[in-house]
Structure 1
Amino acid sequence: MSASEQQAADAAAMRRALDLAVLGPARGVNPRVGCVILSPAGERLAEGWHRGVGTAHAEVDALAKLEPGAARGATAVVTLEPCNHTGHTGPCAVALIEAGIGRVVYAVADPGEHSSGGAERLRAAGVEVTAGVLVDEVEAMLDDWLFAARNHRPHVTVKWASSLDGRAAAADGTSQWITGPEARADVHRRRSAADAIAVGTGTVFADDPSLTARAPGGEFFDAQPVPVVFGRRAVPSDAAITRHPHAPLFFEGADLRADLAELARRGIRSLFIEGGPTLASAFIADGLVDELLVYLAPALLGGPRLALGELGVPTIDAAIRLDFAVIERLGDDVLLVARPTEGN
């Protein structure tokens, strides 16, 4: 097989491994991984994927479908670098070596502090290793997991809805509804895509939010974010979040970085912060926000109920600068998606 033919065969097998990977659970501590095992002649011998914590990793799942010795000299094509540590299961790199695999192809390097190094271990055992095949496609599939693994915290999105003059509520505290149905539907869709949704205790007491993700007709989306509450006040036992499909998680919020690290350890890869102004401002001030979603209504409210509070910006030179990634019309409202510029 020529070099170009080998590259084409590797890419085709990786696309199949990617199809297998997305069969695994989208949420949780572990990544979605797929594996295809090819004979020396390029025939597909076995396939596998990871089904969640405590189950066989994709490589072991595929190997288990072969007779002893059938993998000798074969190629394993895996979306993520085979792991090199013992957790709920043993190291996949060792399983491949012991099965007699002659070549391993993977897309994305494992960023884990304890699980990385599989490629090095394979090479040390005489296994040929090729990295980076379809890396962009696989990274796109693993984006939330990779972010959490590399940064030791979830990807954080802060959302607010406000009037054109930056008020999140009228002077009397009323805020439903600043924006229209199209904007609210977009918020619920984005809630459903997040692993967790967070508010401060002030919002719990003021609005009693359910923190669920619902379709315009009111029915629940299948995927619901885990509710998270930051603050020192105890939440009432009859608060709406206590009826959420997931049990709420509570943090005092004294050390947001430590709280985010704990969320990542619990398998939370993306956090959607709904409010209020105190919580949103604290995350922004600590440099822990990766994306802002601002829904602007064509209305003026005036008064003291600002969407954000103190950010620790003393002068214009210290302003937190952003790049607009999306500007979108949603009914009568406008959605601004902004991300901090490099250095912010």
Structure 2
Amino acid sequence: MRRALELAATPGVPLGPNPRVGCVLLARDGRVVAEGYHRGAGTPHAEVEALAAAGSAARGTTALVTLEPCNHTGRTGPCAEALIEAGVARVVFAQSDPNPTAQGGAARLRAAGLTVESGLLAEESRVLNRIWSRAMELGRPFVTWKFAATLDGRSAAGDGTSRWISSPEARRDTHRLRADADAILVGTGTVIDDDPALTVRDAQDRPLPRQLLRVVMGERDIPAGRRVLDDSAETLHLRTHDPREVLAALWARDARHLFLEGGPTVAAAFLRAGLVDEVVCYLAPMLLGSGRAAVADLGIDTIADARHLEVTDISILEAPDSAPNIRLTLSPEPPATKEQ
């Protein structure tokens, strides 16, 4: 199963609507017959890839899979049926499938007479698919809000300037985090004032082959010539101020992870709606004393009503030519509940 998890974590696999899954087929004597992993939407699932590699040798094997075999027909057929037809004798999977559309694989396998066991390294499998699993439970994209701020909580000076509050190392780290998402969102105000490219770039500032869906939220028109209108990546303009409408539109486009980089107004809208699942803050060792706050009014008048966050990680980002930044990763408390 650990080998299946290694396969599932193969670098370069695009995310989106599908989880990372690995599969290993074992003969009765413990010999590895074949391996496979899912390579992205529209490609064979891990089980099907391993079965294809094994051919007739799959009969009588044990399949170890990091996620419960699916039981539905989408772009590909149900893996449960593929395992049954190949003559696999036993299936051991780590994590139960949280996707209501695909659930039921274990029951289908048992009904066909296969021995089925579950829960082996389940937590490791869930960690691997942490964001996808949570999105499936919520029924909407997982939202990561990222921002950079000074020690006194300012994201821009009084004259509107904000480059560069974050250090070069923090900006490189941001692009690493962006690359794991499906869509990136800002408001129309950020597009008009800052003209961001909203692309994903490597350490040498070169665009990566896979780019996120760029999402602009707001009713104002996007002025001609803004960089989000170029051909570097697809851009979706959603003329709404309602975060729920935004997430529903992105869910329908198979986006499972939204990277929120909008200004304080957009951030406040998502926070007030309880639609932020993770916060990543880059804290710079500087003070402004005035200027734009990192988040707009949340309707909080007393300290007793403060929004509390649980710190899940603290990292110091250092580089020889710049002051270090502190990256805080936080989880809102209590966690957001599933949208109805």
Output the TM-score relative to the length of structure 2: 0.87
Structure 1 unmatched ranges of 5 or more? 1-13
State the alpha-carbon separation in 1 of the partners of residues 142 and 55 from structure 2.
42
What's the secondary structure of 1:51's corresponding residue?
coil
Does 1:162 pair with 2:149? Answer: yes
Which residue number corresponds to residue 340 of structure 1?
A: 332
CA contact (8 A) 2:16 2:257 kept: no
Does 1:59 pair with 2:51? Answer: no
What letter is aligned with 1:174? T
Higher alpha-carbon deviation: 222-231 or 83-92: 222-231
State the alpha-carbon separation in 1 of the partners of residues 213 and 62 from structure 2.
40
Which residue number corresponds to residue 8 of structure 1?
A: none
- Write the deviation string for residues 168-221 of structure 1: whole angstroms up to 9, x where unpaired: 222222222223333333333322333322110000000101112334543334
What pairs up with 1:136-285 in 2 under 5 angstroms?
A: 136-215=123-202, 217-243=204-230, 245-285=232-272
CA contact (8 A) 2:72 2:78 kept: yes
Q: How far has the Cα of 1:121 moved from its partner?
A: 1.3
- Write the deviation string for residues 111-152 of structure 1: whole angstroms up to 9, x where unpaired: 111210110111122211011112222222222221222222
Q: 2:14 aligns with which of 15, 18, 26?
A: 26
User: Percent of aligned positions with the same letter in both sequences?
Assistant: 52
Structure 2 unmatched ranges of 5 or more? 318-322
What letter is aligned with 2:34? A
CA contact (8 A) 1:29 1:265 kept: no
Higher alpha-carbon deviation: 303-312 or 128-137: 303-312
State the alpha-carbon separation in 2 of the partners of residues 71 and 220 from structure 1.
42
Q: 2:70 aligns with which of 77, 80, 83?
A: 83
CA RMSD of aligned residues (A): 2.3
CA contact (8 A) 1:193 1:223 kept: no
State the alpha-carbon separation in 2 of the partners of residues 61 and 180 from structure 1.
43
What pairs up with 1:95-106 in 2 under 5 angstroms?
A: 95-106=82-93
What's the secondary structure of 1:61's corresponding residue?
helix
Output the TM-score relative to the length of structure 1: 0.87
Which residue number corresponds to residue 41 of structure 1?
A: 29
